[in-house]
Amino acid sequence: MWRYAVVAVASLSLAGCEDKPDGQVIATVNGEEITRPELNAILSTVTPDEKQDAKTLQNLVLDDMIQKRLLAQAAKEEGLDRSQDYLLRSRAANQALLIDAYGKKLLSGVSKPYDADVEAYMRANPWRFSQRIVYRMDQIRIGLGDFRPELVDGAARLDDVASRLESQGIAFQRGGITADSATFTKSDFDKINALQPGEVFKVPQAGMMLVSAVVQRQPSPLEGEKALQVARNLLQTEAGRDTLKNRVAALKKSANIEYQPGFAAPKTSR
């Protein structure tokens, strides 16, 4: 159920618009145009309330666009578009949009894999298909700044880790998770699948240390047409990743890049 939020902007008005909107221009805000393609782009990302007809939703979305445009104009009037923070974030956002567009263009030229390649991929990655396993795990999450190896070393069970953390007053979160072997690398699958029930292992991730123990293994083979489609998508994703990687390498090789001393990437960096 979705309801479009309307931002209240009581102190700003549309006064001063002289041109009457027509054609692709559906509204003007102090002379700035809002076009039908802009509206349609936003409409494509929202789901209307069951009781809300398309016309009402369209008008609410447009009203919200107008109010945001007014706020942006007010920010410009105060010179915020010239602040260092805005310029840095604007540059990063524009760069991300360009990279996304260029990436889509490159990936559109990636060929679909042949059936023989798909079948070979499935045979080479059985833990993602015929030997797929869904694991149920108990997990403790600790901030990396608080983590020390001795909190986990020698612990026979996750309860032992929790007791050590509690005794030292270290904050942590604990809960159950599921993990799908189809998302693992071969190395990760081999390590996790070799663990005994309840055996503790740790993995750093996104500023946290994840300390986990396998509670249950549920064989969940992926077969038939669904498996073939997943394999095709994975192969195409890997081919796209290689295409982007090779393009970046070629661009970097032909580019004129100069560093201030001490800022150059390590020689081993790729």
Q: Which residues, in sequence order, are CB contacts of 189 under 8 Å at separation 6+?
A: 127, 181
Q: What is the pLDDT of residue 49?
A: 78
User: 197 lies in which domain range?
Assistant: 133-219
Residue 106 inside a domain? The answer is no
Phi and psi (nearest 5°) for 170? -95, 125
Classify residue 181: in a domain, yes or no: yes
Average confidence (pLDDT) over 176-197: 94
Give residue-wise pLDDT tens across range 97-155.
999 999 999 989 888 999 999 999 999 999 999 999 999 999 999 999 999 999 999 99
202 pLDDT higher than 60: yes
Q: Among 204, 219, 234, identify where a domain stops.
A: 219
pTM above 0.85, yes or no: no
CATH number, domain containing residue 170? 3.10.50
Evaluate whether residue 31 is within a structural domain.
Answer: yes
Residue 52 lies in a domain: yes
**Does residue 10 register a pLDDT over 80?**
no
- Are residues 148 and 211 part of one domain? yes
Rounded average pLDDT over 213-242: 94
Task: With respect to residue 37, please indicate whether it lies within any of the assigned structural domains.
Answer: yes
Share of the chain above pLDDT 70, in %: 92
Q: Is the pLDDT of residue 18 over 80?
A: no
Residue 94 in any domain: the answer is no
In a domain, 117, yes or no: no
pLDDT exceeds 50 at position 231:
yes
Residues 137 and 214 in one domain: yes
Q: At what angle do helices 115-124 and 224-254 cross, to 10 degrees?
A: 100
Number of domains comprising the chain: 2
Residue 19 has a pLDDT of 61
Q: How far apart (Å, rounded) are the C-alpha atoms in residues 28 and 169?
A: 59
Judgement on whether residues 70 and 137 belong to the same structural domain of the protein: no
- pLDDT, averaged across the chain: 89
pLDDT tens profile 243-268: 999 999 999 999 999 999 999 888 76
Task: Tell whether 8 and 75 lie within a shared domain.
Answer: yes
Domain end among 21, 54, 81: 81
Tokens of residue 123, six digits: 């045979």
Q: Establish if 257 belongs to a structural domain.
A: no
What mean pLDDT comes out for the span 40-58? Answer: 86
Give the length of the chain.
270
* Three-state secondary structure call for residue 150: helix
Confidence of residue 17 (pLDDT cuts 50, 70, 90): very low
